[in-house]
């Protein structure tokens, strides 16, 4: 804990926001906000807002204030963060927290400044930014302070990032604004084309999580999916199987792969040999897709392995980063 208040690590993501305090995850909520559009008031945030999605009258709009890794709605993001910080620290906040908050690799300085400002206005006394791949590496406990190279791949909901780290900094990296949400869109579009059925993002995501995979599976799983017939407008179910989802995901996977390959191609030979030896660490929610490690290994020739806590480690690493400020400072984005 800092002298005057808590030290928080915040992973502000397109799909999920996590807060870590004392090395533990103390908050994990969907990055969603339900807004009363007439009174311009926040009705719910996080899980409670997600549950309202598609089930409330028109005056309440459920929105995702982050898009492709960056803030799409500053005011809503800031107010959502403020509610999250209050949840974690209590409302009195005599002593305001310090926070280290993530930004994806490759965002513009205007975009990272917005994150810094939102975190400040949300009630933090001091705010530091950290690039997600560095936070992930710290959270997982990779030996990043050494001169040897480590490859970290983050498969997020809105962004895919790949970075080679050495000496506590990023040596080569790339990112694409493609991730889990694009996969959901791809599944929905596949079902629309093949079955003439319109399904929601939420249903598409559920199919991806429950039966999806990166590579064809011998033992397929199936799921009944409810949608709306494109022609009649009436509700109708279909049965979707694993290998259909695999097919739907290939386009998105290839876009993600391009960023990883680009990093491998630009990695200096000295570090490249470290990476072949150590393999690539994969984290983010997308790493939970069945077979993704096998697929990445096959496509890149570099052994891919999953982090133990692939989703939590980024927030935990940001939290830990606050106690390593002196060492990290020159490698953190400035605003
Ligand atoms: N078992 C699973 N299989 C495939 N995808 C999954 C699984 N579990 C979660 N996901 C996906 O992971 C994504 C969320 O990951 P994560 O929480 O790392 O993203 P984020 O940090 O919010 O986004 P970003 O970092 O890109 O801004 C969602 O798209 C979700 O559907
Ligand atoms: Mg993320």
pLDDT tens, position by position, 18-58:
999 999 999 999 999 999 999 989 999 999 999 999 889 99
Residue 216 makes CB contacts below 8 A (sequence gap 6+) with: 242, 243, 246
pLDDT at 5: 87
pLDDT at 173: 98
The fold for domain 180-248 equals Actin; Chain A, domain 4 (3.90.640)
Report which ligand 1 atom has the smallest distance to the Cα of 284: 18
| CATH code for the part of the protein at 142-178+252-309 | 3.30.420.40
Residue to mutate (ligand 1; options 9, 15, 213; most atoms within 8 A of CB): 15
Question: SS3 for 27?
Answer: strand
Residue range(s) in the chain whose domain bears CATH number 3.30.420.40: 7-134+314-331, 142-178+252-309
The answer, yes or no, to whether any atom of ligand 1 lies below 6 A from the CB of 9, is no
CB 170 within 8 A of CB 162: no
> Mean of the pLDDT values across residues 261-269?
97
List 169's β-bridge partners, or say none: 166
Residue range(s) in the chain whose domain bears CATH number 3.90.640.10: 180-248
The answer, yes or no, to whether any atom of ligand 1 lies below 6 A from the CB of 72, is no
pLDDT at 94: 74
From CA 21, how far away is CA 307, in angstroms rounded? 20
Q: Say if residue 91's pLDDT is above 80.
A: no
Residue to mutate (ligand 1; options 286, 287, 318; most atoms within 8 A of CB): 286
H-assigned helices in 156-312: 180-195, 201-211, 242-265, 269-278, 292-300
pLDDT at 93: 63
CA 184 to chain centre: 14
Q: Say if residue 240's pLDDT is above 90.
A: yes
Domain 7-134+314-331: give its CATH architecture.
2-Layer Sandwich (3.30)
Q: Say if residue 2's pLDDT is above 60.
A: no
Question: SS3 for 274?
Answer: helix
Q: Say if residue 131's pLDDT is above 80.
A: yes
């Amino acid at each position: 804990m800092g002298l005057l208040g808590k030290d928080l690590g915040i992973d502000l993501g397109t799909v999920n926001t996590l807060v870590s305090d004392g090395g533990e995850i103390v908050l994990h909520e969907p990055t969603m906000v339900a807004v009363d559009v007439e009174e311009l008031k926040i009705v719910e945030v996080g899980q409670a807002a997600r549950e309202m999605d598609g089930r409330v009258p028109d005056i309440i709009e459920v929105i995702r204030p982050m898009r492709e890794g960056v803030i799409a709605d500053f005011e809503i993001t800031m107010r959502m963060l403020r509610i999250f910080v209050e949840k974690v620290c209590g409302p009195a906040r005599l002593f305001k927290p310090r926070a280290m908050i993530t930004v994806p690799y490759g965002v513009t300085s205007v975009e990272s400044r917005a994150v810094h400002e939102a975190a400040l206005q949300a009630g933090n006394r001091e705010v530091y930014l950290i690039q997600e791949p560095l936070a992930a590496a710290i959270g997982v406990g990779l030996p990043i302070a050494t001169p040897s190279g480590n490859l970290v791949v983050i498969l997020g909901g809105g962004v895919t990032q790949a970075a080679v780290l050495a000496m506590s900094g990023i040596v080569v990296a790339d990112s694409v604004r493609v991730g889990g949400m694009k996969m959901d869109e791809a599944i929905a579009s596949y079902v629309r084309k093949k079955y003439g059925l319109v399904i929601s993002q939420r249903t598409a995501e559920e199919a991806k999580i429950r039966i999806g995979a990166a590579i064809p599976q011998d033992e397929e799983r199936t799921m009944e999916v409810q949608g709306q017939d494109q022609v009649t407008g009436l509700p109708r179910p279909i049965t979707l199987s694993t290998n259909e989802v695999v097919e739907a995901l290939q386009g998105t996977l290839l876009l993600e792969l391009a960023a990883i390959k680009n990093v491998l191609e630009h990695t200096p030979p000295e570090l490249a040999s470290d990476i072949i030896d150590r393999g690539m660490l994969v984290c983010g929610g997308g790493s939970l897709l069945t077979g993704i490690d096998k697929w990445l290994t096959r496509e890149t020739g570099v052994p891919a392995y999953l982090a133990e806590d692939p989703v939590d480690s980024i927030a935990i690493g940001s939290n830990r980063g606050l106690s390593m400020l002196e060492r990290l400072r020159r490698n953190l984005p400035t605003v």
